[in-house]
Each structure stands twice: as C-alpha cells, then as structure tokens.
Chain A
Amino acid sequence: MSLASIADNFFGLFNYWVVILLMMIGFYTVISHDNLVKKLIGLNLFQTAVFVFYISMGKISGSTAPILMSGKGSEDVLYAHPLPHVLILTAIVVGVSTTALGLALVVRINEAYGSIEEDDVLEADFETQEEETEEEAERMARAEARQERESAQQDHDDGREEEDDDRETRS
C-alpha cells in the first residue's frame, strides 16, 4: 500500500474517522469521570458521534442538499439522501430528552446528597449502609437476648430439653 493510497483512505473516510474518535472520547469520558455531569457530557458526545455517522451515510460526494428545485436541469441534480437525516432528527430528540432526564436526576441527586461526584454519593450510601447494618445487628442481639430470657424461663419450668430445641432454631 503506497503512502498516497493510505492518505486517500484516510481522507476519503474522514467523517468516519471523526465518528470513531468522537465516540471513543465520549465513551471514555463516561467510564473515567466521577462527576455525573461530565458523564452526561460524555454520553452526549457518544450520541453525537452517531448523529454524524448517520448524516455522513446519506451524503453523496458532489451532491447538494435535498431541496426541491425548479428550472432547467433540475431533474438531473444529485442530492443527498434525506432519509438518514430525518431518522437522525428523531434520534436527536431522544438524545435531548435523555440529557434532560439525566440532568434532572443529577439535580435531585445533588439535593439528596449535596454532591454530584459519584464517589461521594456511593460513600454516603456506604456510611448509611453501615448504620443500617449496625441497627440490624442490634435488633438481632435484642431478639437473641429475649429468646435467651424466654428459654431460661422455660428451662426453669420444663428442664433442659427446650433450650436445646431453641438453640437449633436459632442457628
């Protein structure tokens, strides 16, 4: 493969290289950033790459925009394929509503946690989880203590047999 053909390949598919680049930048941003807004920006880049992909697909080299023209020679005019452009309008609407919903969630997360860093939020959740497990453990301890008391009572009444039964059910 000569240098010229490589260059030709590159510039001939320029749009698609841009699509891949944009998509990977967006994807990497989504994965690598902790900040939820930055994640959304990455997601947006990712989606925009697909918009560019669809629009490039409909373009024919040397064609004009798909607009109805009058006059001489208008039948022979080469125009871009309009359908991918229309499709991508729908996808843009989907993208806009996803972003709006995502930002609304970020606002609510900020209200609830006072932070939009994923790590902070997870840490806050982890702390409350520790509290919850502590509460749980306390409850369990209380329940066991009660059962102990009851079995002691029963022990007093009916002898050792009952206590053994009780241990089994507890374990």
Chain B
Amino acid sequence: MIEAFFAQMPALVIVLPLLAAPICVLLHRGGPSWFVYLLTTWACFALAFLLFVQVKIGGPISYAMGGWAPPFGIELRLDALNTVVLLLVTGIAAISSVYAKASVAAEIASERAYLFYAALLLCFCGLAGITVTGDAFNLFVFLEISSLSSYALIAMGSKRRALLSAFQYLIMGTIGGTFLLIGIGFLYMMTGSLNMADIASRLPAVADTRTVEAGLAFIVVGTSLKFALFPVHVWLPNAYTYAPSSVSAFIAATATKVAVYALMRFLFTVFGAAYAFDQLPLGEVLLVLSVAAMLSGSMAAIFQTDVKRLLAWSSIAQIGYIVMGFALASSAGVSASVVHMVNHGLIKGALFMAVGAMFWRLRTISLNDIAGLGRQMPITSAAFVVAGLSLIGVPATGGFISKWVLLEAVMEPGHYWLAAAILVSSLMALIYIGRVVEALYFRERPEGQPPVGEAPVLMLTATWTLVLANIVLGLYATPLIGAAERAARAVLGAGS
C-alpha cells in the first residue's frame, strides 16, 4: 500500500492541485477554498520533500504517465536538478498559502476569492508540471497553464492599471510560449520524438542542420521571454507591481525560476552543453545579456519610488545572476545558478511578503507613504531589512552564499569583468535597499496619517519563515550547496 503510494508521488504533485482547482470553484466560497489551497500546497510540499529524499538516495525516478512507457507515453522524470526546483516551488506555495488569507481578504472582492484560489492552484499546478515533466510538448502545455492563470491573477490587482499590465504580459507571454512551441516543432521534425531523453539521444546525428539550430534559437528566445531576460523584460515590472500582494510574492519567487529551469533543461539535457556552448556561441550571448540585465535592472531599481516596482526591477537584475551561472556551462556555474535560484526565491518571496504586509495596512506602497513605518510596524520592517541584507549579499545570509559561489564560478575561468559586474550590481542593490530602509527608519511619518499597527499574525509568520530560511541557509549552507552540486553533476553528466 505504502509502496504503491510512493510509486505514484511524481504524478500526485500535479494531480492534487489540478483536482483541487475545480473543487475550489465548486465550493463557491472564499474561506473553504483557502483551506483547500492550504492543504493542497502543504501536501505537495510534503510530496516534494519525499521525492527529494528519494532521488537523493535512490537516483533519478522515471514515472510513466498512464502506464504508457516512454518514449511514447508522457514521462515524468525527477533528478537531482528538478527535485530542488520542485522543493522551492512547493515550499514557496505552501508558505504563501499561509500568507494569502489576510492579504486576499483585503485585496480581492470576497465573492470572487474562490476563483482567485482556483487560479492560484492552476498556476501552481502548471509550475509543478513544468518542473517534473520529461516530455518537451508536455512542458509547453504546463507552461501555458501556469501563464494563462497568472495573467488572470495579475488582472485581479486592485488598481485598474493591473488590467493593461496583465494584457501586456499576455501578449509577450503568448509570443514566448509560441516561440517555444515552434522550437519544439523543429526538434520533433528532426528527431521524431518528444521525450527529452529520447530527443537527446537522437539529436547528435542531425545536430549540424539549420533546423536544429533554429529550434535552439526559438527555444532560447521563447523561454527568455518567460523569465524576462534583459531585452525582453518589459512586461515584468508592471505585472509584479500591480498584481495582488500574495500573487506578486508567489510568482516573483517561483515563476521566473521555473522558466529558467526549463531553459536549463533544454540546454543541458536535450541539446547538451557541448552543442549549445562549445559548438554554438550561446554562452557568450547569455553572459553579455546577463551582465546587461544585472546592471540595467539594478540601475532602474535605484530610481523607483514604488517599492514593489523597485523589487520587480531588482528581480530582473537577479535573473541576470542566475543566467550568468549556467551560461558558464561549468559544473561550478550550474551549481551557483541553482543555489541562487533557491536563495533568490526565498529572498524575493520574503521581500514581497513584507511589502504586501505594509500594503495591507496602508493601501499604498510608495517610498513617501511608508516613511517612518519602522517604529509602527517593527516586525514587518525588520523582516524587510534582513531579507534586503540577504539580497545585497551580507555575510550570514543566503544571498552571501549564492554570490560567493557565483564569484568562485566566474573566477575559475578567469572572467574578471564578470566578477566586477557582480560586485557593481551588489553595490547598486545596497543603494536601492538602502533607500527603502532609510524611508522606513530615518524619516517621519507623513502628516495626517493615523498610526498603524502590525500586520496579522499569519502574514508575519509566513514572512518570517522565509526570512529565517534565508538566515539558516546563510549559516548552514552545506545541504543546499551539496544539492546544487548533485544537480550540476546530473545535468552535465547527462549532456556530455
């Protein structure tokens, strides 16, 4: 019985939220729907943890969906890389589900809250699906499931500007998704297979054709649109700024990471590092774009007055760090990418949650309005400061560890200009986080504003859980670095 359950775990991670979403719609009320959402995400978190342990002990798991053996059926495949990403996605979803209740009650009309939770579950299902699937076309379908539901979620923001942001995201996101579809079509044309491992084994025979090269180009551009790499990032600041707080926290911490994972999966597992980085100059292209993302994102963040928009621009810069890591195509680089993916997920989750808690009180989040809040919302403000320090990369926080391993990775082949770019971008992070901290602690409350109290306990608990996770990963980084190194070995070993 127990064994039968263990065998079905990879499918359950997708099936649970997919079933829970219509249950939310049937329940037709916000409160019970929230409870369903909470249970589902925590159950998936537990499953992800079990899968992580199982893969760590027993090696990769292959699950044949519906009993159809791969490469003909859809295969779910879990290895050292995607169990880490799955753990991050489910973990953030679980913690943000605790956070969501109060935040949603304040920002979403109560008669629509159940639909909100249903969309959130679908988005979660899509992200988990992208992570576990081993089938290229299936990945596209899950990507569209998560994207479509996140367009709807962003449109539920309280300002009317959320609508146009969601529409712009829909246009850009659909173009990205369609590019990915074209790329997969090219690969299918040349290999006659959709299973990633199967494509990988058939690809070397036809690798020198223009069709495969075009397929790679379409896949890289398509996924880059989804994770907002530098020149195609314009949708992200608006989408994150005007989305409801709980959505910003969840999507900022997970969606971009999962899209980066999808690109890593295609580059390393399907095409192979040797093809994408040695035969084609993809590494150089991605390195230049990542540096541009880091510098332009941090620079733009410095000049923002809306704190959520500031964090969104900072996300664009942080995506640069992650892309830089795997663009090196070395073992150290890929593991640095994975470490920063996890750490940045935790940092941005915590920051957006803290900002959401301030929004919950003030209904606005510009730098002038949060001035002096450090004394009136001390716990929330402290959470922002600690997570902000982690974003800058102060020792004893997770952010320090990821910057450290990334610096080691870029120094290894002697790319000193990349190291300089990392340091400059970190200094700029110090400036933009510093501006918020200055507003919180060293300015007076605006006149005529009544004093405000702390945010609800559940919101604070969720925020501080992520903040503490940052500190724990900063002080005791061995498990994460170990997992990242195993992930790097898994993908690079499969590629070469």
Chain A contact residues, CB within 8 Å of chain B: 27, 30, 36, 39, 43, 46-47, 50, 53-54, 57, 84, 87, 90-91, 94, 97-98, 101-102, 105-106, 108-109, 112-113, 118, 121-122, 125, 136, 139-140, 142-143, 146-147, 169
CB distance from B307 to the nearest CB of A (A): 14
B181 touches A91 (CB 8 A): yes
Given contacts A30-B175, A47-B174, contact A118 B447 (CB under 8 A): no
21 A-B pairs with C-beta separation under 8 A: A46-B178, A50-B178, A50-B182, A87-B194, A91-B181, A97-B148, A98-B170, A101-B148, A101-B170, A102-B170, A105-B167, A106-B167, A109-B163, A109-B164, A112-B163, A113-B160, A125-B164, A139-B446, A142-B448, A143-B446, A146-B447
Total of A-B residue pairs, C-beta within 8 Å = 85
Is B359 engaged at the interface, CB distance under 8 Å to the other chain?
no
> B151: which of A57, A105, A112 is its contact (CB, 8 Å)?
A105
Q: Of all chain A residues, which has the CB nearest B166?
A: A105
CB distance from A149 to the nearest CB of B (A): 10
B137 touches A87 (CB 8 A): yes
A94 touches B151 (CB 8 A): no
Tell me, in angstroms, the Cα distance from A6 to B177 when the chains sit together.
34
B144 touches A143 (CB 8 A): no
Q: Of all chain B residues, which has the CB nearest A150?
A: B444
Tell me, in angstroms, the Cα distance from A98 to B141 when the chains sit together.
12
Given contacts A57-B188, A98-B148, contact A136 B368 (CB under 8 A): yes
A54 touches B185 (CB 8 A): yes
| B181 neighbours in A (Cβ, 8 Å) | 50, 91
CB distance from B465 to the nearest CB of A (A): 33
What 1/0 mask marks residues of chain B from 396 to 421 whose CB sits below 8 Å from any chain A CB? 00000000000000000000000000
Given contacts A30-B175, A98-B148, contact A105 B163 (CB under 8 A): yes
CB distance from A20 to the nearest CB of B (A): 11
B175 touches A46 (CB 8 A): yes
| B56 neighbours in A (Cβ, 8 Å) | none
Is B171 engaged at the interface, CB distance under 8 Å to the other chain?
yes
A112 touches B160 (CB 8 A): yes
| B177 neighbours in A (Cβ, 8 Å) | 94
B366 touches A136 (CB 8 A): yes
B167 touches A94 (CB 8 A): no
Tell me, in angstroms, the Cα distance from A90 to B384 when the chains sit together.
43
A98 touches B174 (CB 8 A): yes
| A147 neighbours in B (Cβ, 8 Å) | 444
Given contacts A30-B171, A57-B189, 17 further A-B contacts (CB under 8 A): A47-B174, A50-B185, A53-B185, A94-B148, A98-B144, A101-B170, A105-B151, A105-B163, A105-B166, A106-B167, A109-B167, A112-B163, A121-B164, A122-B164, A139-B448, A146-B447, A169-B442
